Amino acid sequence: MAKDYYKVLGVERNATDQEVKRAFRKLAHEHHPDKTNGNADKFKEINEAYQVLSNKEKRQQYDQFGSTFENAGGFGGGTGAGNPFSGFDPSNINFDFGDFSARGGSAFGGDFGDIFGQMFGGGQPSRSHNRKGADIQVDLEISLAETVFGTSELISLRKENTCPYCQGSGAKDGSAYQTCGTCKGSGQVASNFGPFRTQSLCPECQGQGKIIKEKCGYCHGQGAILETTDLRVEIPAGIDDGQSIRLSGQGNSGRHGSRAGDLYVQVHVRPDHYFAREGHDLLSEQKISFTMAALGGETTIKTIDGQVRLKIPAGTQPGKKFILRGQGVGKLRSKGRGDQIVTIQVDVPIRLNKKQKKLLEELEKESY
């Protein structure tokens, strides 16, 4: 029984592309092998599901034939002389979906689409088994000030890089190949599928027509090596907590010359004890004395750029908001900055001496 990729990602069958992507990123972040509690098998399963559901054509094919493939279109329709599948029992067919990652990310082990393409006029089977390298996601924590002005961070991560000795081929000196004995160099093998004779990718060479004669001694035939890599990430002004930066081609290397995956840097903003963020604006509170609130005056306000003086008019009430233009967060992909909104809190004295009480009592009498 094939896997239910929707259940693997935890999404409904009618999930949008964005919902599928969000579910994948969340689960990939949780199970990534580089994390302390990561799970390599689970990560591989998640990636396998995403490779299918994020591709429109693969998803349509997967949805059409279902997770068990027992209701595949063309297998139904009853029996009789008019049906070319009369007496044909699809349950007797054993599809070997094998190692998904080794077959280039094809939705069904690399052969399923080729078989049905030949059966229903789909043209020649594909010779390409190479696939883009796996994407990587890492987390990066920055301060609120760094989201306001932007920053540049150097990160280190363990990832697969193309072997410098065989240039990703896996063969010694990049050329130690021999013709595949299974397909005789064609990259295809013939097989019987019920009343049909079909062509599919060679399982030995995976469509290349050649196999490694002598493996590269540095990467042991893998075509990639696991290394610690330092990368500088430019964080733009205005980025918000939870947003990601995509670095194209900085993920794990692809096999046999295919392009590398992408690196996603998910940004986390440390909480600030003085400011809160709301969109492009920064929120803060400022305490002033009861006397200043009544008589007016000036107070020093902390901004992300430094300190400024704020004039307090007489009769300022608790909760009054003042707007400091252009003192907020930089706007992502546009010019300008938001504002800082300062909420006034009046510091009412807890203990009063006799003179202060007498003055307040007289003030109270004058008010009526």
The domain locations on the chain are: 133-164+217-270, 276-366
pLDDT band at 338 (very low <50, low <70, confident <90, very high): very high
pLDDT of residue 149: 92
What are the tokens at 224?
């990639």
Residues across the chain: 368
Which residues, listed in sequence order, are joined to residue 161 by a DSSP beta bridge? 225
Cβ(161)–Cβ(320) below 8 Å: no
Q: Do 276-366 and 133-164+217-270 have the same topology in CATH? A: yes
pLDDT digit string (tens) for 341-359? 999 999 888 787 888 788 7
pLDDT digit string (tens) for 195-231? 666 777 787 776 777 777 788 888 887 888 888 999 9
In the chain, the DSSP E strands lie at: 136-142, 151-162, 177-179, 188-193, 196-201, 210-212, 224-235, 244-247, 263-269, 276-278, 281-289, 297-303, 306-312, 321-324, 340-347
Cβ(146)–Cβ(235) below 8 Å: yes
Of 2.70.70.10, 3.40.50.11890, 2.60.260.20, 3.40.50.300, the CATH number of 133-164+217-270 is 2.60.260.20
If one counts every other C-beta atom within 10 angstroms of the C-beta of residue 77, the result is 12
pTM: 0.55
Which residues, listed in sequence order, are joined to residue 233 by a DSSP beta bridge? 153
Tell me what the pLDDT averaged over the chain comes to. 77
* Start-end of H helices in 120-257: 144-149
276-366: CATH topology: HSP40/DNAj peptide-binding domain (2.60.260)
- The H-or-E segment that residue 63 falls in is helix 56-65
pLDDT digit string (tens) for 62-116? 887 654 433 343 333 333 433 333 333 333 333 333 333 333 333 333 344 433 4
Cα–Cα distance measured from residue 104 to residue 58, given in angstroms and rounded to the nearest whole number: 13
* Range picked from 32-41, 67-76, 115-124, 126-135 for highest mean pLDDT: 32-41
